Amino acid sequence: MKNMEMTIKQLADELGVSKPTIRNIVSKLGIQSKLRKVGNRYTLSDSLELRIFSF
């Protein structure tokens, strides 16, 4: 079964923070180039989610 990627909004909602907070963390970690754009949304792989969780 394929892992589901989470959008920035979904991750922000799960963590109880705002989308700009997630974008700031992504910027501080330097992982902007690893985000995947699907339509008009950016998604995060499981490994990127873990990096953000541990920030």
What tens digit of pLDDT does each residue of 32-45 get? 999 999 999 999 99
Region of 36 (left: φ > 0; alpha: ψ -120 to 50; beta: rest) is beta
Query: pTM (2 decimals)?
Result: 0.85
- Cβ atoms of 15 and 49 within 8 Å: the answer is no
Lowest mean pLDDT among 2-6, 15-19, 44-48: 2-6
pLDDT of res. 4:
78
Separation between Cα atoms, residue 21 and residue 39, nearest integer Å:
22
* pLDDT average, residue stretch 21-39: 95
Residue 15 has pLDDT above 80, yes or no: yes
